[in-house]
A and B are shown apart, each in its own frame.
Chain A
Amino acid sequence: MKALKGGEFLIKKTLPEQVFIPEEFDEEQKMIAETCQSFLEQEVFPNLDRIDALEEGLMPSLLDKAGELGLLGISIPEEYGGFGKDFITGMLANEKLGAGHSFAVAQAAHNGIGTLPILYFGNEEQKKKYIPKLASGALKASYCLTEPGAGSDANSGKTKATLSSDGKHWILNGQKMWITNAGFADIFTVFAKIDNDENLSAFIVEKSYGGIELNPEEKKMGIKGSSTRQVFFTNCQIPVENLLGQRQEGFKIALYILNIGRIKLAGAALGGAKEAINQSIKYAVEREQFGRIIGKYGAIKYKLAEQAIRTFALDSALYRCSSSVQNAIKEEIENGKNKQEASLTGIKEYAVEAAILKIFGSEVLDYVVDEAVQIYGGMGYSAEGPVERAYRDSRINRIFEGTNEINRMLIVDMLLKKAMKGELDLLTPAMAVTKELMSIPDFSSTENTTLSEEKKVLANFKKAILMTAGAAAQKLMANLAKEQEIIMNISDMIIDLYVSESVLLRTEKLIAKNGEQAYQEQIAIAKVFIYDAADRIAKAGKDAINSFAEGDEQRMMLMGLKRFTKINSINAKEYRRSISDKLMQNTKFCF
């Protein structure tokens, strides 16, 4: 069966054998993950307070050490001084390092938005000049897109570049804001408009060019150890050859890079979530109240289980999407594209899924750290405890790399554009659903296995979404973009679908490999997640439908929604207990 294209999960079925699951990491990938973990344990975790105090020189020295271990060049091609590892391996390292609080942010900014624009859009000379030094950490990078007046609306930036009279330099003037790594970066990828261009262009700017001034460090809620400063360019002279890509190609570059940034942010969130769960479990089995460890109380069991359920779901969706991207890259290379072009095409293909992961990942992490604080009680609120920092550091993830609201808008927007371009046939399945609405529901069930109910419900989720989104698009037409509340509802339904399906596919694949007995808790996770998702999808769908439909049509759609989100009752309490008992037995996240 052919791999699904981006967005096709909404209308087509995926088979378990088509997805990669985290249980399939090979020996080398596990060793790389261990190296990342050891690095955090030896260099980062003992120094978190010093890092957050922005101790002079500490963060660059940590990046140097990570560079010496090769951790900054994992996915960079060997010809540019990296180790040429595939997308999934890079994602795994990114996940592990993601638990590193402010260090994780500095590392991700350097490796991702700092290095990738040059790697993907640089010409051969630019790549040869900069990439090997970025891969080793000898040069440290930052990315300058946002301006005081240009945040979510990035293309509206005022920073200007003009060609010098001798034609040898671009003269750059303007102000950039929220620039991660600004305090120690040697290289700034700066987005600016040339003269009165409509679109941004991108430039590689070395600190040594002069004309660059920094504001003091921003005082932030979290990730306090990550250097975040405003950067001012005053007649900064950039050699003409440092234009990155074509003139006016900057906005396209920025969007491509954000696509990668989004899925990588989900990976980093996963690493942070696993660490926070481990802390939560450790405390739950140690802390005693009323003569028993608090982990023996149902209220705490619920929290541990729910942290694990959502994190397992994120894990499943992240590596499913990563393998989709990786397979697409491989296919593009086989079709004759070079690695960089193939990577860009592969990542762009799954931009909808990347946006889903960005939202879901950052929201899972926020949930997990919030409950971690609650499990720790007073110690959770104390800056002396281990989870207070995690709570503060998590919050930014829903804001940067495109706010979760912008990303929710993008999911629907990108899907509709794909449909209009004829890349994704939403119409035929949407019409089939409308027809089904008129017919008598089919109560016959052909399959009766542990997860057959969930499989059936999942197919229905797709119908619920196609029905709701199809009607919304038809009714509101061009006005849909203005009805952001409805778009949020539809996006929420789509996110729950993709993640539910990922959990189900992973669990099915595990069962196919080693039988049900070994995966009782994973089965419990799949059942609880999909059971809850059914209610969430029903609620979001109801809110959407009630806002644009009336009369018979409204009644019929609400009935359809009820039918498509119907799921057999389960004893979620017992399933959650079994999950949290397993966590406490292992005293760590073990799924």
Chain B
Amino acid sequence: MKLLVCISKAPDTTSKISFTENNTKFNEAGVQYIINPYDEWYALVRALELKETLGGTVTTITVGKADNEPTIRKALAIGADDAVRIDAEASDALAVAKQIADYVKNNSYDIIFCGKETIDYNGSQVGGMIAELLDLSYVSLASKLEVNGNTATLERDIQGGKEVVETNIPFVVSCAKGMAEARIPNMRGIMAARTKPLQVLPGSEAPKLTEIVAYSLLPEKAGCKFIDAENPGELFQLLHNEAKVI
């Protein structure tokens, strides 16, 4: 099987988030990047497991500039066979999906894996867009994936239960928690990563339909206000006038 895993970088969850240029740019200074956990723990590891049982290859694809390479090398250390980096700005979800779809058009794959979302922008859009651009079926937020011949059976967690979906290969899947267990790259993998192929391809023309106008941080948590139990009227007034929730 030829498996393709979409890998994106994301700031480490302990990173200090701040913005520059009048709150229009994310401040990357001092930010430590990791592989987006949904891409790593669920998409990549499940792809590797399938390769180990069914044979085949696992390729990763990343849209972005050279500063993505440490995270790409880590994906190779975890066990991907080779990697592709499309040398283009990951300006929005459609731009990323278009680059990946264009690459897949020239290099067919059986399953295209995405994480269910990146932990920075939480767009959850790229997988669906790739499927649409390639006219493939798409299963989002899958927590289980089994392949049997030409068919795949997937499970999705839905409100109060599970949904079991079947689709034919090829298809696109976005992976949620439960799909696989995180793997720690071992020494052999880390050393092999250096020599595994990392192909850098120029980006194709991609539309940029959205623009980020401004970022803001959540307001700091305000202190706790105590209201006398004998005075429910004051509570009502505060909830109505100050918190504006009723």
Q: Mark A556-591, 1 if CB is under 8 A from B, else 0.
A: 000000000000000000000000000001111010
Known: A31-B74, A38-B184, A70-B186. A83 touches B16 (CB 8 A): no
| The stretch of B87-95, B189-197, B227-235 that contacts the partner chain | B189-197
Known: A27-B70, A585-B16. A35 touches B187 (CB 8 A): yes
Interface centre among B16, B74, B77, B184 (most CB of A within 10 A): B184
A291 cross-chain contacts in B, Cβ below 8 A: 223
Decide if A32 touches B14 in the complex (CB within 8 Å): no
B187 cross-chain contacts in A, Cβ below 8 A: 32, 35, 69-71, 73-74, 83
In chain A, residues 414-468, which have Cβ atoms closer than 8 Å to a Cβ of chain B? none
A590 cross-chain contacts in B, Cβ below 8 A: 30
Complexed CA–CA distance, A34 and B33 (Å): 12
| B142 smallest CB distance to A (angstroms) | 24
Does A218 reach chain B (CB closer than 8 Å)? no
Please classify how large the interface on chain B is, using the bins under 10, 10 to 19, 20 to 34, 35 or more.
10 to 19
| A78 smallest CB distance to B (angstroms) | 10
B190 cross-chain contacts in A, Cβ below 8 A: 28, 31-32, 35
A83 cross-chain contacts in B, Cβ below 8 A: 187-188, 191
Decide if A42 touches B184 in the complex (CB within 8 Å): yes
Complexed CA–CA distance, A83 and B16 (Å): 35
Does B1 reach chain A (CB closer than 8 Å)? no
| A285 smallest CB distance to B (angstroms) | 11
Q: Mark B53-77, 1 if CB is under 8 A from A, else 0.
A: 0000000000000000110011001
Does A220 reach chain B (CB closer than 8 Å)? no
| B198 smallest CB distance to A (angstroms) | 12
* Nearest A residue to B182, CB-CB: A42
Does B207 reach chain A (CB closer than 8 Å)? no
Task: Give chain A's interface secondary structure class.
Answer: helix
Decide if B193 touches A586 in the complex (CB within 8 Å): no
Decide if B184 touches A35 in the complex (CB within 8 Å): yes
Complexed CA–CA distance, A489 and B102 (Å): 71
In chain B, residues 105-154, which have Cβ atoms closer than 8 Å to a Cβ of chain A? none
Decide if A68 touches B186 in the complex (CB within 8 Å): yes
| A61 smallest CB distance to B (angstroms) | 15
Known: A31-B193, A74-B187. A588 touches B14 (CB 8 A): yes
Known: A83-B191, A590-B30. A31 touches B14 (CB 8 A): no
Q: Mark B186-217, 1 if CB is under 8 A from A, else 0.
A: 11101101100000000000000000000000
Q: Can you list 25 A-B contacts (CB < 8 A)?
A: A27-B69, A27-B73, A28-B190, A31-B77, A31-B185, A32-B187, A32-B190, A34-B74, A35-B186, A35-B190, A38-B184, A39-B184, A68-B186, A69-B184, A69-B187, A70-B186, A73-B187, A74-B187, A83-B187, A83-B188, A83-B191, A585-B16, A586-B16, A587-B16, A588-B14
Given contacts A38-B184, A69-B187, 18 further A-B contacts (CB under 8 A): A27-B69, A27-B73, A28-B190, A28-B191, A28-B193, A28-B194, A31-B74, A32-B190, A35-B184, A35-B185, A35-B186, A35-B190, A39-B184, A70-B186, A71-B187, A73-B187, A83-B187, A586-B30
**6 closest pairs, A vs B, by CB?**
A70-B187, A69-B186, A38-B184, A83-B187, A31-B190, A70-B186
